[in-house]
C-alpha cells in the first residue's frame, strides 16, 4: 500500500514496502511463555490480544515489524526522528536509513503549502484558523521566492566545487528528504498514538494516518485493541 500524494503536492509520499508477522505471530510470541503455538486465531486468541494490550504486555508486539519508505520535508523528518525506537543511532536495532546530503545533491523539491494558519493563542505549539486565500497566496510566494534563492545559492556553491556536505547548510527545512523506517508494531502504534492526534502538526498527522492504516493491514486485531484500549 502507498500514498504518493500524502501532502497534496505529489511529492510527499509514504509506502508500506515490507512487513513481518501479524496478529498470529503476536499471539504465538505471547504463547511462548507456555511453550505453545496456535495455527489460527479464534475467540480465545482475540481475548488474549485484548488482554496483552490492555495490560501493557507489549513485548509480543515487537516481533511484528513494518518497513516504510517515506519522503517528507526535513522539518517533519526531524519530528519523526524523535521516535527513538527504530530511529536512534545509539540503538542496536536502528531501523532508520536516510538519503545523505553528503553522498547526493539535493533536488529542488520543496514543500510549499497552499493553506497557511494563524498562530494559536491557546496552544503555543499549534495553529489556529486558516488565513484567507489571498493572504495564503502571498505567504506561498514569499516561501517560493526564498526557497528558490536558497537553492540557487546551493547550486552556486556546488559549482564552485564546495563539498556537498558543506553546501547543504544553505538549504531550508522545507526541502524534501527520504528514508526507510523499519519499526516494530509496538513502536509504530506509539507513533500513531502521538502523531495522528490533534496536538501534532497537521503534516505529520497525515503520515501517521497512513502508518495507522498500515498497522490495520498487517495486524488488524492488535491495532484495533491498541486503539480501543481504556487503560492507557
Ligand atoms: C505534539 C508533540 C509535541 C512535541 N514537542 C516536542 C518539543 O517541543 N521538543 C522535543 O524535543 N520533542 C517534542 N516532541 C517529541 C516527544 O517529546 C517525544 O520525544 C516523541 O513524541 C517520541 O515519543 P516516544 O518517546 O514515546 O517515542 P520512542 O522514542 O519511539 O519511544 C517509545 C517508547 O519507548 C519507551 N522509551 C523510549 N526511550 C526510553 C528511555 N530512554 N527510557 C525508558 N523508556 C523509553 C517509552 O515508553 C516510549 O513511549 C513532541 C511530540 C509531540 C507528539
Task: Give the distance between the most distant pair of CA atoms in the chain.
Answer: 68
Question: What confidence category does residue 60 fall into, taking pLDDT thresholds of 50, 70 and 90?
Answer: very high
Is the pLDDT at 5 greater than 90? The verdict is yes
Is the pLDDT at 6 greater than 90? The verdict is yes
* pLDDT score for 91: 57
Q: What is the CA radius of gyration of the chain?
A: 21
Is the pLDDT at 221 greater than 60? The verdict is yes
Q: Which three cell numbers stand for residue 85?
A: 525506537
Is the pLDDT at 90 greater than 60? The verdict is no
Is the pLDDT at 85 greater than 80? The verdict is no
- What residue's CA is closest to ligand 1, atom 16? 82
Query: Who lines ligand 1 at CB under 6 A?
Result: 82-85, 125, 187, 190, 194-195, 199-200
Q: Could you report the per-residue pLDDT of 93-103, keeping only the tens digit for each? A: 678 889 999 99
Taking the CA of residue 88 as reference, the ligand 1 atom at the shortest distance is 29
Residues of the chain above pLDDT 70, percent = 96
Best mutation site among 57, 76, 79, 84 for ligand 1, i.e. most ligand atoms within 8 A of its Cβ?
A: 84
| CA angle (23 as vertex; 182, 25 as ends), nearest 5 | 75
Distance, in Å, from the CA atom of 154 to the CA atom of 169, rounded to the nearest integer, reads: 8
Neighbours of 188 (CB within 10 A): 28
Question: What confidence category does residue 84 fall into, taking pLDDT thresholds of 50, 70 and 90?
Answer: confident
Distance, in Å, from the CA atom of 1 to the CA atom of 54, rounded to the nearest integer, reads: 29
| Whole-structure pTM value | 0.93
Catalytic annotation present for 206: no
Q: Could you report the per-residue pLDDT of 165-177, keeping only the tens digit for each? A: 999 999 999 999 9
Question: What confidence category does residue 31 fall into, taking pLDDT thresholds of 50, 70 and 90?
Answer: very high
Is the pLDDT at 148 greater than 90? The verdict is yes
- What residue's CA is closest to ligand 1, atom 11? 82
* Integer angstrom CA distances of residue 56 from 124, 160, 228: 32, 56, 13
Is the pLDDT at 65 greater than 60? The verdict is yes
Question: What confidence category does residue 87 fall into, taking pLDDT thresholds of 50, 70 and 90?
Answer: low
Q: Which of 164, 195, 206, 229 is catalytic?
A: 195
Best mutation site among 66, 75, 77, 85 for ligand 1, i.e. most ligand atoms within 8 A of its Cβ?
A: 85
- What residue's CA is closest to ligand 1, atom 25? 83
| Average pLDDT estimate for 128-138 | 95
Question: What confidence category does residue 124 fall into, taking pLDDT thresholds of 50, 70 and 90?
Answer: confident
Is the pLDDT at 137 greater than 70? The verdict is yes
Taking the CA of residue 87 as reference, the ligand 1 atom at the shortest distance is 30
Sheet holding 176-184, edge to edge: 2-3, 13-20, 65-73, 176-184, 96-98
* pLDDT score for 92: 60
Question: What confidence category does residue 213 fall into, taking pLDDT thresholds of 50, 70 and 90?
Answer: very high
* pLDDT score for 123: 87
Nearest CA among 209, 185, 221 for reference residue 21:
185
The residue count of the chain comes to 232
Q: State the chain's mean pLDDT as an integer.
A: 94
- What residue's CA is closest to ligand 1, atom 8? 125
* Pairwise pLDDT comparison (227 vs 93), residue with the higher score: 227
Amino acid at each position: 500500500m502507498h500514498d504518493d500524494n500524502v501532502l497534496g503536492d505529489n511529492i510527499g509520499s509514504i509506502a508500506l514496502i515490507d512487513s513481518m508477522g501479524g496478529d498470529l505471530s503476536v499471539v504465538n510470541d505471547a504463547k511462548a511463555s507456555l511453550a505453545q503455538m496456535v495455527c489460527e486465531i479464534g475467540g480465545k486468541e482475540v481475548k488474549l490480544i485484548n488482554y496483552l494490550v490492555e495490560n501493557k504486555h507489549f513485548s509480543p508486539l515487537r516481533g511484528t515489524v513494518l518497513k516504510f519508505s517515506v519522503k517528507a520535508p526535513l522539518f517533519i523528518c526531524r519530528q519523526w526522528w524523535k521516535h527513538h525506537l527504530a530511529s536512534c543511532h545509539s540503538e542496536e536495532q536502528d531501523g532508520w536509513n536516510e538519503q545523505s546530503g553528503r553522498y547526493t545533491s539535493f533536488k529542488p523539491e520543496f514543500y510549499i503549502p497552499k493553506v497557511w494558519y494563524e498562530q494559536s493563542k491557546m496552544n503555543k505549539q499549534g495553529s489556529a484558523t486558516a488565513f484567507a486565500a489571498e493572504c495564503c497566496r502571498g505567504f506561498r510566494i514569499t516561501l517560493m521566492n526564498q526557497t528558490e534563492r536558497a537553492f540557487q545559492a546551493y547550486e552556486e556553491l556546488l559549482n564552485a566545487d564546495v563539498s556537498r556536505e558543506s553546501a547543504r547548510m544553505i538549504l531550508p527545512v522545507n526541502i524534501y528528504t527520504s528514508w526507510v523506517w523499519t519499526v516494530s508494531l509496538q513502536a509504530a502504534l506509539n507513533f500513531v498514538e502521538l502523531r495522528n492526534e490533534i496536538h501534532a502538526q497537521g503534516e505529520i498527522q497525515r503520515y501517521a494516518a497512513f502508518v495507522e492504516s498500515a498497522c490495520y493491514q498487517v495486524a488488524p486485531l492488535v491495532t484495533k485493541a491498541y486503539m480501543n484500549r481504556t487503560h492507557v
